Chain A
Amino acid sequence: MSSGVPEPDLKELWQNLETERTIVSEEQLQLKAMGFLRKNRRDLIARLAFAILASTFGGFVVVTARLTTVRIAAAVVMTMVLINAIRNLYLSYRGKETWTSCVEFYRSELQKQRAFAALPVWQIIAAFLIIAWLIPGALRRNNADPLGIVLPAVLFAAAGLIVLMAVRKFQARNVQADIEALNSFEAENSPKD
């Protein structure tokens, strides 16, 4: 600790930090704002287009498939895609404005992340039911070689779903830990309060 060199005043050092004095002109701002709006619009169109394409394809399968099992599975998948699209759109537009207090804004962003990470339970159950439903059919149709083509594909889908659930769970747990840390950050009070 002891040294002949004077100890630094951090505030002074910080406030004298070299900066480039960036000035963003009004034209640049307007260009950037337009770019931002364009990007938002593009994202929205891409999401909607995906949802529409997936539901059209699902609808086509529902109408034309010969097997009732496949029709029901397609209808459930179609519903899931549509609900997910609406939910994600709603979540991306939910959230506080940037001029709210920092704690409030940070909490709302974390809650948004948590909602994104959480996979609705009914969707997991529906996906597992579809997989369980498809397995016996696949076994019957592939009497000669039940472990041939269809069963591995179904099992692969199930494994993928489990991995997705694990990743989402891990993400949600991390976000929850951040929310709890924020709660303690906020709750701490001085004895004078």
Chain B
Amino acid sequence: VPNSGADRNDLYQEVTAAYGRAMERLARAYEADPDRRQDLLQEIHLEVWKSLEVYEARCALRTWVYRVAHNTAAKHVIRRCRTKPEVLVSLEEVSQLKHKQDEVAGGKEVVRQLMEVIHLLKPPDRQLMLLYLEGVDTESIAEIIGLSPGNVRTKIHRLKTILARQFHQGAIL
């Protein structure tokens, strides 16, 4: 076991300091209900903590943490869909469902609309969008999701177009 006891706890402290807020945003993006979100967040922390026992630094700690967090959240979505079926769509489909706003909205309103779009997405599209919004670079996104960098580049290009269309957002293009 590469990291047991104190080593794992030290690593966990490092993780919460560096990615604690990202993990909270991620939980928010996967669960709208505040109580269930808190449960999901705790589950993510628990899974990350458990996984750190076998972390061997073969990949960056960030890649490891994002993988565990997104996979735990995706499992949560699958479990939720089993008990309460909901229709989740791809990025292309969401751009057809959601109409762009006529006016440029303020920050909070944009975040609310963005969250609404995110909550409609299937896990793989959601993972891509969230990692992009977190500012993770293309190579790392490819490593976290398990796609080729070229594939991720294509998808991010399309994602930017969709976001720009939805939110009149030019700065990121």
Contacts and interface: CB of A to CB of B under 8 A. Distances in A.
Interface residues of B, number: 66
Given A8-B107, A182-B124, A190 B25 contact: no
A36 interface: yes
Nearest to A17: B25
A145 interface: no
Interface stretch (A69-77, A93-101, A157-165): A93-101
Contact of A33 (B49, B68, B71, B172): B49
B18 interface: no
Summarize B's interface: helix, strand, loop or mixed: helix
B135 A11 contact: yes
Interface string A147-182: 000000000000000000000000000100010011
Interface size class of A (residues with CB under 8 A): 35 or more
Given A9-B171, A103-B124, A182-B124, A36 B46 contact: yes
A123 B80 CA distance: 28
B42 A103 contact: no
Given A17-B111, A32-B42, A102 B51 contact: no
- Nearest first, the 5 closest Cβ-Cβ pairs linking A and B are A101-B146, A193-B150, A190-B150, A190-B154, A14-B133
Interface of B: 9, 12, 16, 20-21, 24-25, 28, 38, 41-42, 45-47, 49-51, 54-55, 64, 67-68, 70-72, 74-75, 78, 82, 85, 90, 103-107, 110-111, 114, 122-125, 127, 132-135, 143-148, 150-151, 153-155, 163, 167-172
Interface of A: 1, 3, 5-11, 13-15, 17, 19-24, 26, 28-29, 32-33, 36, 96-106, 109-110, 113, 174, 178, 181-182, 185-186, 188-190, 192-193
